[in-house]
Amino acid sequence: MKKIFLIPGFKQKTNDIMFLHLKTFLKKINFEVFPVPINWNYKTMTDYVSEFKEFYNKNKGNDDNYILGFSYGAVIALMTAEDLKPNKIYLCSLSPDFKEDLIDMKPWILKYIGKRRCEEIKKRSGIEIAKELNTPAVVFYGEKEAEKFPDIKKRCEETARYAKNTKLVIVKNAPHDISHPEYITALKKELYKITK
């Protein structure tokens, strides 16, 4: 059976209502769904990556493993893909959480993510990670999201440009919300391809 690991965004949980439609759909097309429990408080990206790797290795199948991350969860998916070697990753609204993004970060965002996480951002390059990515990937961002958060658009487009086997999907009218109807439609379209 195909297994898919769902990594939520910062401070979110995969049992939040916004992931309900996605989980229902994935089960319907015969995926075994693994909502990833991330302990967000007082930790950094290094901790999240380590937590996820442990969870993935404990639950992965012999083949047919997929990872879908939203926002901060997409950063975790991107950063672990080369180590974990899933069949494919789905990066939804990839957060601008790399050293190339620091210049555009607003003060309130820096404050929100905190000093230790900001220090860590300086040590990782989104461009370098994308260039080293061999795992097939689909990168999504919403049109409305891009208007409100141009740095998300930039990170998604740069990742798609530098990664070898990557498709970019711009979701019509969608904000930064994985449960938005257009976002769900775009995800379904890409996820259906695995079942064929």
Per-residue confidence (pLDDT) for residue 182, from 0 to 100: 96
Per-residue confidence (pLDDT) for residue 114, from 0 to 100: 67
The pTM (predicted TM-score) of the whole model is 0.95
Task: Report the C-alpha gap between 73 and 67 in whole angstroms.
Answer: 10
Q: Do 183 and 127 touch, CB atoms closer than 8 A?
A: no
63 C-beta neighbours (distance < 10 Å), count: 9
Per-residue confidence (pLDDT) for residue 196, from 0 to 100: 61
Task: Report the C-alpha gap between 13 and 66 in whole angstroms.
Answer: 18
Residues facing 139 on adjacent strands: 91, 168
Task: Report the C-alpha gap between 30 and 24 in whole angstroms.
Answer: 10
Task: Report the C-alpha gap between 40 and 11 in whole angstroms.
Answer: 6
Q: Do 57 and 1 touch, CB atoms closer than 8 A?
A: no
Strands (E), the chain: 2-7, 31-35, 65-70, 88-92, 137-142, 166-171
Tens-place pLDDT, residues 135-175: 999 999 999 999 999 999 999 999 999 999 999 999 999 99
105 confidence band (pLDDT: 50, 70, 90): confident
Please list, in sequence order, all residues whose beta carbon lies within 8 angstroms of the beta carbon of residue 77, skipping any fewer than 6 positions away. Answer: 7, 67, 68, 69, 89, 90, 91
Residue 75 is which amino acid? V
Angle at 82 between CA 4 and CA 122, to 5 degrees: 110
Task: Report the C-alpha gap between 187 and 138 in whole angstroms.
Answer: 9
Q: What is the largest CA-CA distance in the chain?
A: 46
Q: What burial letters (b/e) apply to 179-191, b meaning 16+ CB within 10 Å?
A: ebebbbebbeeeb
104 C-beta neighbours (distance < 10 Å), count: 13
Q: Where are the domains of the chain?
A: 2-195
Say whether domain 2-195 belongs to CATH 1.10.1370.20: no
Lowest mean pLDDT among 61-65, 142-146, 158-162, 192-196: 192-196
Residue with tokens 């195909």: 2
